[in-house]
Structure 1
Amino acid sequence: MCGIEDSVPDNYYCAVRKDLIDLVPPGFKSVLEIGCGDGNNADYLREKGAIYIAGIELSSKHGKAAKNKMDDVFIGSVEGELPGWLLNTKFDLLICGDVIEHLNNPWKTLIALRNLMSPSGYLLASIPNVRHYSVIKDLVFKGKFHYVSSGLLDRTHLRFFTKSEIVELFENSGYRTVSWSHSEMPKRDSLISRMSFGLLDGFLVYQYYVLAQKRQSR
């Protein structure tokens, strides 16, 4: 997770994202996780067949922890100057779990990440949905857009996206979307989604999951 280390709860860096990784077709061998936190996805990635796992982590504390679990870790910003070993490697899978919203220029970064992908590689991302009803409710009825330590209005978020903005982000950065998914809804929201035939999903989805590949030039 790329964020400001002293302004987020420590468990921010510890999640194992099976919900994301399970969306990727089998066969990937090399993985780069941007915002790898403590490196806790490494074991599950190896279970799925990964042989080489590298990470990028902004937090020095958590990046050092990740070095005990991953093959290579660069401690620094994905938006900064990357080391040669990283630039010279092609990855079958790039993971951006809750990262893109923390970037100063996600468009430029996604374009740069294309150069790190193998020809048939995937980029997997999870991105919060600012159109979620909890944000709209407070904004419209209470006049509040209140930042918190984690969640949709995490105070370290620099960019905010709805589904249409995510589509535009990936299209303008040279990707084609392979599949869409989203975080699991609470039972009440899932019922509303079914009753509305998905028409209200834009207000019910908390976080979108995107699996994409490089768009090939014609």
Structure 2
Amino acid sequence: MCGIDDSLPDNYYCAVRKDLIDLVPPGFRSVLEIGCGEGNNAAYLREKGATYIAGIELSCRHGEIAATRMDEIFIGSVEEDLPNWLLNREFDLVICGDVIEHLIDPWRTLERLRNVIPSSGYLVASIPNIRHYSVVKELVLRGRFQYVSSGLLDRTHLRFFTKREIIELLDNSQYKIINWSHSPISRRDSLISRITFGRFDGFLTYQYYVLAQKK
């Protein structure tokens, strides 16, 4: 499995997700980031108080870079058998930034991750919204559902979610949702949201951010 994603654009691996991390209450010390890319979140996580940061990354090339920035790295899939050093720890925070939609069985994976999260710990995730108007427009008006190299219809996405499906995914995996947020919307879309009293926000939201704890 190592290196299977090395053909993907480099922007898959380089983002710093302050927008997602800022959803988490302060106080976390140990962090596990699924799909950590090149480990560029590590510096910001340490600024926020993290003292131990581990990562799981599918790409060998980018995972080796992450190993220079994080405390420990497992290069492979989170859906594989994980090493004992990871399974025998607890993490105050588990990050799944743009990961869940790539998994074969996200339900089972989230259930397994519960074992490394203490009752006071958090799971934070960003998940694309397939209900976004750009997808609906192409599907309804043009009959197109065309995969592309990145974005909502990324060719490597195996699962698709709306807000309702995200709620069901977490509930069925025995998590309780603590907080919601979403990616920034344009000034035009913000105006539409205000005019329509939020009734069409499900079509305007590109990506949801969700903070959860174990039930």
- Assess same fold via TM > 0.5: yes
Residue of structure 2 equivalent to 1:53: 53
Does the alignment pair 1:92 with 2:113? no
Root mean square deviation of aligned Cα: 1.2
Distance 1:168 1:5 in 2: 28
Number of aligned residue pairs: 214
What stretches of structure 2 of length at least 5 have no aligned partner?
none
Residue of structure 2 equivalent to 1:101: 101
Q: Deviations over 1:64-110 (max 9, x none)?
A: 00000000000000000000000001000000000000000000000
1:61-210 to 2 correspondences below 5 Å: 61-210=61-210
Shift of 1:129: 0.2
Shift of 1:3: 9.3
Q: AA paired with 2:42? A: A
TM-score, scaled relative to structure 2: 0.98
Q: AA paired with 1:24? A: V
Shift of 1:8: 2.0
Kept in 2, the 8 Å contact 1:132–1:204? The answer is yes
Distance 2:99 2:134 in 1: 21
Distance 2:161 2:154 in 1: 13
Distance 2:28 2:42 in 1: 13
Identity among equivalent pairs (%) = 73
- Which runs of at least 4 in structure 1 moved beyond 6 Å after TM superposition? none
Shift of 1:164: 0.3
Shift of 1:11: 1.3
Shift of 1:194: 1.1
TM-score, scaled relative to structure 1: 0.96
Q: Deviations over 1:151-190 (max 9, x none)?
A: 0000000000000000000000000000011000011111
Q: AA paired with 1:140? A: V
Kept in 2, the 8 Å contact 1:63–1:73? The answer is yes
Distance 1:29 1:78 in 2: 21
Kept in 1, the 8 Å contact 2:175–2:212? The answer is yes
Kept in 2, the 8 Å contact 1:3–1:102? The answer is no
What stretches of structure 1 of length at least 5 have no aligned partner?
none
